[in-house]
Amino acid sequence: MRERIANLTSNVLNPFAVSVAAILLLAFESTPTAADALKWAGITAGVSVLPVLLTVIYQARTGRMSGILTATREQRTGIYVLSIACLAVGYTVLHYLQAPLMLPAAFVGGLCGVVIFSLVNLRWKVSLHTGFVSALAVMLVLLHGAIAAVAVAPVLLMGWSRAHLGQHSVAEVIAGGLLGALTVVAVFEVFGLP
């Protein structure tokens, strides 16, 4: 039963799904209509999440990666480089199209986070899963206050899940969670977001 819960948590709250959730959250927070939010979310996900996801699926299917969500530390390097490129291009596109400030700010945060994770990845495999869930939880708390503190529960569940499945040590889980949270706090502070 624990194994099933751990796998379900890791699969449902994977970095790609959490990225889309964060994009939707920020798009709806920063636009006046649902149509505008969906337009910006589509553009944002299309230049950031989709290219990386398609590359990971391709590499997993051709045997270049051990799995869509379980790459070894060495297999992550190329994905980090692609992510950095997509975030840089995405920021440029969003800036050029004059997207609501929260979206390009998120790209700056994502770019900083991915650079940090990729540098740490040269020596240590910190938990991306926990980092992404932690970042989303902090975003929710910063945008909606104490009522959103319940978003911390999935962070703890994810941390347990990744350690239980043997994907990460407890230290790697904690480091991933802290890096995700601190990156969001820094971006909100620098950009003066609510």
Domain boundaries, the chain: 2-191
59 vs 78: CA distance, rounded Å:
10
Phi, psi (rounded to 5 degrees) for 70? -130, 40
Report field, pTM of the whole predicted structure over 0.95: no
Helix (H) or strand (E) holding 53: helix 49-61
pLDDT in tens, 6-34: 999 999 999 999 999 999 999 999 999 99
- Residue 71, pLDDT > 80, answer no
Decide if pLDDT at 185 tops 90.
Answer: yes
